[in-house]
Amino acid sequence: MELAMPPLHPKVPALLKHLNLRILDAIKWNVIAVAPADDPGTKPKWVLKFGDDPRKAKSVDYEIRILREVLPGIDQSEFERLVLPQYADDGTFEEVRWVKMDFVPGRQLVYEWSEINFKPEVLGGRGIEPQVAAMAVDMLRDLRSVDIESMPKAVRRFDFAAWLDDFRRDSGMLVGRGFMEEDTIDRALQLFTSKRVLRYEGSMFTNTDFYPRNFVIMPDGRHVSLVDWVGGVDPWEFVAMRAWLLMWGNPRWQIAYTKGIKEHFPVDVEEMRIGLLVGAFGQAYRWREMPEETVGFARTQMLAYFRQCLDLDYVNSLFS
């Protein structure tokens, strides 16, 4: 395990005391592994996730609804690999919204992936073996079997028209900062406003952040728990290609992954191209405020993917 990630939120000690818990590990800055305060052991019992600024608190609140109201209604008996997280408790303490989930033992790939320049050994999932790509494909198959028609109305669904409005606004910001060029945006808009693309809508249920960093390979070596459930219904091409993009540091993994996708799914390369473009832009925009010395390589790679994927021949080469 990595060392706890300082600094933790200043309210965390009081929150832990309030819940009678003690911290065993920091998985992410707002996700910690915990045990009862009076338990002298070293094995976590729960995962505690929290947020107090309006955006994070809203995200945690939505995830609680997914964990409490949606995931328990999904029949996992036919899943080949996927294991869904188990809700334990939630609440609010001094304006900190928190949720507690059962801890899943196993190999947590969160420690084997990073976007940070000074972690070269795990940059872009560099060390994750290609066998995990086969697991990811099986998990996609499991997720695609979930009936999205029965999802509650509160579950987020992809809206391409709304996304396109955001793209027009956000791309201008990236152009203004010198990350992108107007010509690149114009070419993308020409594609995005075509009739074919405007028919996009969500086709599968997902945790919204499907890539190996959010995988926990369970002790049996076969089943995989998928964590970080700010879930929704998205186009499957977007879900599939996000994982490919975020494994940029591991070409062998990417090749094994696209091979598995071709074996198990009908592939429309033009639709995959849209998934790649939407994913690459979204990730580059998400990293827009981070310093060059911190995520410069990762951000540059996403911007390069965006430019390359405007060329259909490039996308064809990924699936050839």
The CATH-assigned architecture of domain 12-104 is: 2-Layer Sandwich (3.30)
Burial of 47 (0-12, 13-18, 19+ CB in 10 A): buried
Looking at 3.90.1200.10, 3.20.20.60, 3.30.1330.40, 3.30.70.3270, the CATH number of the domain 108-318 comes to 3.90.1200.10
- Report the chain's mean pLDDT, rounded to a whole number: 95
Q: pLDDT digits over 65-122, tens only? A: 999 999 999 999 999 999 999 999 999 999 999 999 999 999 999 999 999 999 999 9
Q: Where would I find the H helices in the chain?
A: 12-19, 54-65, 131-144, 160-176, 182-192, 195-198, 236-246, 251-264, 269-286, 292-309, 312-318
Question: Collapsing DSSP states into helix, strand and coil, what is residue 107?
Answer: strand
Q: How far apart are CA 274 and CA 164, in angstroms?
A: 12
Q: pLDDT digits over 32-72, tens only? A: 999 999 999 999 999 999 998 889 999 999 999 999 999 99
Mean pLDDT, residues 276-281: 98
Q: Where would I find the H helices in 94-157?
A: 131-144
The predicted model scores a pTM of 0.95
Q: Where in the chain is the domain with CATH 3.90.1200.10?
A: 108-318
Q: Where in the chain is the domain with CATH 3.30.200.20?
A: 12-104
Q: pLDDT digits over 151-176, tens only? A: 999 999 999 999 999 999 999 999 99
Q: Which H or E run includes 157?
A: strand 156-157
Provide the pLDDT for residue 4: 40
